[in-house]
């Protein structure tokens, strides 16, 4: 299957600061990537769709000014959590479709802790 | 209408037994149903997926059964092993974007040796 990586795997930041999370497709190109959030012992919730060359689209209830998404190239999407607060602490996971379009491959996730 | 309901919340099975996890959906636009396995602190890994044109799909020890009329699908893990202990999520997608997955609530599977 296709390989998706994320960096960093774990980050701690202070309240009010911003943090950037990278998502890369390692052996394939992805014009679209997806960002999910998973709180402890809960399911994954789709936050936004990252589109190469155009603006991201956000799911209902997700603040686009707080969660900035940039799809810089065909292999890289970044999620920036701006002015982070403790309630933003979560597991952020990206995904990208494989060549078959149906299968979605997930990155290893980034654990964000805001103190 | 976008929900995918998954049960049970947790499941304990003896080694060699069969693990069965069930999901139900409401949105008839869904036409792609994958199952993911997730270990603590890791991203979900695609296990197996099915589309509505077939009622069953088997890959190794994993089988998906699909009932289109009932809008239900299930995962069967045959000969369950301790290494299968993980959280399992069903999901659904359809329409214009198969990347916009709607996940079930998850099932924590524990396989005792």
Distance from CA of B67 to the nearest CA of A (A): 20
User: What is the structure's pLDDT at B33?
Assistant: 96
Measured between CA atoms, the residue of chain B closest to residue A57 is: B100
| Nearest CB neighbour to A104, from listed B101, B104, B105 | B101
Q: What percent of chain A has pLDDT over 90?
A: 85
Report how far apart the first and last C-alpha atoms of chain A are (Å, whole number): 36
pLDDT in tens, B42-64: 999 999 999 999 999 999 999 99
pLDDT in tens, B57-102: 999 999 999 999 999 999 999 999 999 999 999 999 997 788 899 9
- How sure is the predictor about A101, in pLDDT bands with cuts at 50, 70 and 90? confident
Query: What is the 8-class DSSP label of residue B87?
Result: E
Binary contact (B44, A46; C-beta < 8 A) = no
Residues in chain A: 115
From its phi and psi, is residue B107 left (phi > 0), alpha (psi between -120 and 50) or beta?
A: beta
CA–CA dist B34, B15 (Å, integer): 24
Binary contact (B100, A49; C-beta < 8 A) = yes
| Residues of B (31-90) whose Cβ lies below 8 Å from A | 32, 34, 36, 41-46, 49, 89
- pLDDT for B9 beyond 70: yes
pLDDT in tens, A42-84: 999 999 999 998 999 999 999 999 999 999 899 999 999 999 9
Write out the two tokens for B25.
């959906």
Distance from CA of B51 to the nearest CA of A (A): 10
CB pairs below 8 Å between A and B: how many?
A: 60
- How sure is the predictor about A114, in pLDDT bands with cuts at 50, 70 and 90? very high
With the CA atoms of A13, A19, A21 and A22 taken in that order, what torsion angle do they form, in degrees rounded to the nearest 10?
-130
- How sure is the predictor about A35, in pLDDT bands with cuts at 50, 70 and 90? very high
List chain B residues with CB under 8 Å of A45: 103
Tell me, rounded to whole angstroms, the distance of Cα B78 from its chain centroid: 14
**CA torsion sign, B37 to B39 to B45 to B47?**
negative
Contacts 24+ apart (CB under 8 A), B93-96: B93/A104, B93/B30, B93/B31, B93/B32, B93/B34, B94/B27, B94/B29, B94/B30, B94/B31, B94/B32, B95/B29
Write out the two tokens for B26.
């409401």
């Amino acid at each position: 299957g296709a390989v998706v990586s994320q960096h960093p795997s774990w980050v701690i930041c202070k309240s009010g600061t911003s943090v950037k999370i990278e998502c890369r497709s390692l052996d394939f190109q992805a014009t679209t990537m997806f960002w999910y959030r998973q709180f402890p012992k809960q399911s994954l919730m789709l936050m936004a769709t990252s589109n190469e060359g155009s603006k991201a689209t956000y799911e209902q209830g997700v603040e686009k000014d707080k969660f900035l998404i940039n799809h810089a190239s065909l292999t890289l999407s970044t999620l920036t959590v701006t002015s982070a607060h403790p309630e933003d602490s979560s597991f952020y996971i990206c995904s990208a479709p494989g060549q078959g379009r149906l299968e979605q491959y997930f990155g290893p996730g980034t654990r964000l802790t805001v103190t | 209408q976008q929900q995918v309901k998954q049960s049970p919340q947790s499941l304990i099975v003896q080694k060699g037994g069969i693990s069965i996890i069930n999901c139900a959906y409401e949105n008839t636009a869904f036409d792609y149903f994958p199952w993911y396995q997730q270990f603590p602190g890791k991203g979900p890994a695609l296990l197996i997926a099915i589309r509505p044109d077939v009622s069953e799909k088997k890959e190794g020890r994993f089988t998906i059964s699909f009932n289109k009329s009932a809008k239900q699908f299930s995962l069967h893990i045959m000969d369950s092993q301790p290494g299968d202990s993980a959280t399992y999520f069903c999901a659904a997608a359809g329409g214009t974007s198969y990347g916009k997955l709607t996940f079930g609530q998850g099932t924590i599977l524990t396989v005792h040796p």
